[in-house]
Amino acid sequence: MTQHLATPADAPTTGTHTGWWRDAVIYQVYPRSFADGDGDSMGDLRGIRSRLPYLKELGVDAVWLSPFYASPQADAGYDVADYRAIDPMFGTLHDADAVIREAHELGLRIIVDLVPNHSSDQHEWFQRALREGPGSPLRERYHFRPGKGANGELPPNDWESIFGGPAWTRTENPDGTPGEWYLHLFAPEQPDFNWEHPAVRDEFRSILRFWLDMGVDGFRVDVAHGLVKAAGLPDIGSHDQLKLLGNDVMPFFDQDGVHEIYRSWRNVLSEYDGERVLVAEAWTPTVERTANYVRPDEMHQAFNFQYLGTHWDAAELRGVIDASLAAMRPVGAPTTWVLSNHDVTRHATRFANPPGLGTQLRTPGDRELGLRRARAATLLMLALPGSAYVYQGEELGLPDVTDLPDEVRQDPSFFRATGQDGFRDGCRVPIPWTAEGSSYGFGTGGSWLPQPATWGALSVEAQTGDPTSTLELYRSALAVRRERPELGAGESVEWLDAPEGVLAFRRDGFVCVANTTGRAISVPLPGRLLLSNEEVRIVDDEAEVPADTTAWWAV
Ligand code: GLC
């Protein structure tokens, strides 16, 4: 494998701190579903490599790749069997090297996914722990416990898996008798590591170095809030734990002990040049608690899930925007904004449905309305100070696929029905690249989840060059953002008076108006119109902003 410069081509020389990540637009690639380079119906690194120029042209700054490591795929790669190997389904280390190198040549940064809360049950440590039986030192690297009850037939505590059912699975001893239980906050194939164990801590620092040496620009840290569990693994005492998630500090989430781990990781990253970053996937009850993950000596960014969960409603949006900016200011971290990812219903479908249904939906709703709001929401997001995340396919206005037949589903939560709704497959359907042809250009061998027959019209090919298309709206928005770095810069917005249901704010030389109501509104003409998702009419010194429209003005 060739060694290469870790910094992208247009990045400044080593030693200069640009803080590139503070206002970066980061595009999430879900490797299974982005592009298939070898015709096996599953996306892969070769496919990603071939589409890097598309991402460059789209105008994003960085690419976050969901896991591509060796994995039995019990949770689509979030069950890692070997953190230093690529799953053959996705390619080889040579392919990963080529993706990183060619991305850098194009001036794109690469962020990879790190999954430290749990491994796959096929990980060598876990397999040895099972084989060696109770008392094996390898068991201390996970959470093995004897069961409760006369014969150990009850789980060690009352914790429930996020995917439904108990968070414990009983093992069988090497002699075939029922044995200890092990903890898995997610699927049984995803045993949780014991982060009190020094070998676990050492191993992950070493894994960080492995990928930093490969040249990656950072890590998105999966379940960053989960690594440390409350001492003694206490019962929760509630039978409705999924409702508590995200609203309360749980004994397995958001424990203060996690922060020491991220401080040690930050030290590892600091040894490398090129401003490498850590991004927390931390679902916490409040933005204030999320801010703890991005204190100056910890991670660089954290996903803003409060924003993701906000409805298309001016008052609600303003509340979350203010709270997010206020929470990040004291720690000096940029706020992030995100509308979609591989775990939630795409925002074009969320906004097509009535509010209050959560982020896992099964109904398509009013598609036209949803798309229109989604486009407006994107322009609002890209006008806010901080870094923004774009999930593959949202630039095509893709809806969630809400009618996938049960037999094609792969999301483990679908099969553990009492857990979260299990509709994550609907946002993971492969991307349409061409208007016609096998799997609309995703690959030559079909696609692992069926694409709706209407998706040819949503393909990259069909939308390219059409000024009314969602793809061209994203391209234009990202081009304006590049020309005007002030859009992502700073840490505040100046709110302007606006009618009910309308958000209006000023930033350096720039005004954004977002109309979340279902009717057109008029505002005093702020300046020169830069971009809007629907046509804005100018009458004398007033601008008429249509329903569900965001407009950008230079002032
Ligand atoms: C994160 C991932 C999700 C995965 C879970 C367990 O939430 O985003 O896809 O199922 O962690 O690793």
- From the list 271, 322, 483, 542, the catalytic residue is 271
Per residue in 429-442, pLDDT (tens digit) is: 999 999 999 999 99
pLDDT band at 316 (very low <50, low <70, confident <90, very high): very high
Residue linked to tokens 């200011």? 329
| pLDDT for the residue numbered 383 | 97
| pLDDT for the residue numbered 422 | 57
| pLDDT for the residue numbered 96 | 98
| pLDDT for the residue numbered 413 | 82
In the predicted model, what is the mean pLDDT of residues 197-204? Answer: 98
| pLDDT for the residue numbered 8 | 52
Is 365 in contact with 352 (CB distance < 8 Å)? Answer: yes
Residue linked to tokens 């206005």? 397
Task: Name 26's bridge partners.
Answer: 62, 389
Going from N- to C-terminal start, the domains of the chain cover: 8-117+205-234+241-477, 124-183, 494-554
Ligand 1 atom 12 nearest Cα: 78
Per residue in 469-487, pLDDT (tens digit) is: 999 999 999 999 999 998 9
Query: How is 340-396 classified by DSSP, letter by letter?
Result: --TTS--HHHHTTS-TTS-S-------HHHHHHHHHHHHHHHTTSSSEEEEETTGGG
Residue 420: pLDDT over 60 = no
Residue linked to tokens 């070898």? 38
| pLDDT for the residue numbered 10 | 46
Of the candidates 317, 334, 325, the one whose C-alpha atom is nearest the C-alpha of residue 388 is 334
| pLDDT for the residue numbered 16 | 65
Ligand 1 atom 7 nearest Cα: 223
pLDDT band at 551 (very low <50, low <70, confident <90, very high): very high
| pLDDT for the residue numbered 109 | 98
| pLDDT for the residue numbered 423 | 79
pLDDT band at 416 (very low <50, low <70, confident <90, very high): confident
- Classified as helix, coil or strand, 37 is coil
Ligand 1 atom with minimal separation from the 79 CA: 12
Percent above pLDDT 90 for the chain: 87
500 an active-site residue? Answer: no
In the predicted model, what is the mean pLDDT of residues 124-131? Answer: 98
Ligand 1 atom with minimal separation from the 118 CA: 12
pLDDT band at 249 (very low <50, low <70, confident <90, very high): confident
Q: Which H helix or E strand runs over 327?
A: helix 314-328
Mutate to test the pocket of ligand 1, among 29, 120, 186, 420 (most ligand atoms within 8 A of CB): 186
Kindly indicate whether the domain formed by 494-554 is annotated with CATH number 2.60.40.1180. yes
Ligand 1 geometric centre to CA of 522 (Å): 43
Is 110 in contact with 216 (CB distance < 8 Å)? Answer: yes
Taking the C-alpha atoms of residue 442 and residue 447, their distance in angstroms, rounded to an integer, is: 7
Is 501 in contact with 517 (CB distance < 8 Å)? Answer: yes
Per residue in 132-145, pLDDT (tens digit) is: 999 999 999 999 99
Taking the C-alpha atoms of residue 143 and residue 104, their distance in angstroms, rounded to an integer, is: 40
Ligand 1 geometric centre to CA of 72 (Å): 15
Phi, psi of 545 (to 5 degrees): -100, 115
Which is higher by pLDDT, 375 or 411? 375
Taking the C-alpha atoms of residue 102 and residue 49, their distance in angstroms, rounded to an integer, is: 7
Ligand 1 atom with minimal separation from the 186 CA: 6
Ligand 1 geometric centre to CA of 223 (Å): 7
Mutate to test the pocket of ligand 1, among 343, 410, 411, 423 (most ligand atoms within 8 A of CB): 343
Mutate to test the pocket of ligand 1, among 193, 222, 254 (most ligand atoms within 8 A of CB): 222
Ligand 1 atom with minimal separation from the 424 CA: 9
Is 79 in contact with 118 (CB distance < 8 Å)? Answer: yes
Is 29 in contact with 66 (CB distance < 8 Å)? Answer: yes
Per residue in 259-297, pLDDT (tens digit) is: 999 999 999 999 999 999 999 999 888 899 999 999 999
Ligand 1 atom with minimal separation from the 283 CA: 7
Ligand 1 geometric centre to CA of 85 (Å): 19
| pLDDT for the residue numbered 15 | 52
Taking the C-alpha atoms of residue 495 and residue 517, their distance in angstroms, rounded to an integer, is: 18
Mutate to test the pocket of ligand 1, among 65, 69, 75 (most ligand atoms within 8 A of CB): 75
Ligand 1 geometric centre to CA of 233 (Å): 22
| pLDDT for the residue numbered 240 | 75
| pLDDT for the residue numbered 414 | 81
Ligand 1 geometric centre to CA of 68 (Å): 13
Ligand 1 geometric centre to CA of 392 (Å): 17
Could you give the C-alpha distances from 266 to 115, 275, 300, 480, 550, in angstroms and in order? 16, 11, 9, 33, 38
pLDDT band at 11 (very low <50, low <70, confident <90, very high): very low
- From the list 44, 217, 222, 548, the catalytic residue is 222
Residue 322: pLDDT over 60 = yes
Q: Which of 210-224, 236-250, 526-540 has the lowest mean pLDDT?
A: 236-250
Could you give the C-alpha distances from 59 to 432, 471, 474, in angstroms and in order? 19, 11, 9
Ligand 1 geometric centre to CA of 521 (Å): 41
pLDDT band at 241 (very low <50, low <70, confident <90, very high): confident
Taking the C-alpha atoms of residue 400 and residue 517, their distance in angstroms, rounded to an integer, is: 23
Ligand 1 atom 3 nearest Cα: 343
Ligand 1 atom 4 nearest Cα: 78
Residues with C-beta less than 6 Å from any ligand 1 atom: 75, 78, 115, 186, 222-223, 281, 342-343
Is 90 in contact with 448 (CB distance < 8 Å)? Answer: no
Per residue in 18-73, pLDDT (tens digit) is: 899 999 999 999 999 999 999 999 999 999 999 999 999 999 999 999 999 999 99
CATH code: domain 124-183 is 3.90.400.10
| pLDDT for the residue numbered 26 | 98
Per residue in 159-196, pLDDT (tens digit) is: 999 988 899 999 999 899 999 999 999 999 999 999 99
400 an active-site residue? Answer: no
Ligand 1 atom 9 nearest Cα: 343
Ligand 1 geometric centre to CA of 315 (Å): 30
Count CA atoms within 13 Å of residue 377 on its CB side.
Answer: 33
Kindly indicate whether the domain formed by 8-117+205-234+241-477 is annotated with CATH number 3.20.20.60. no
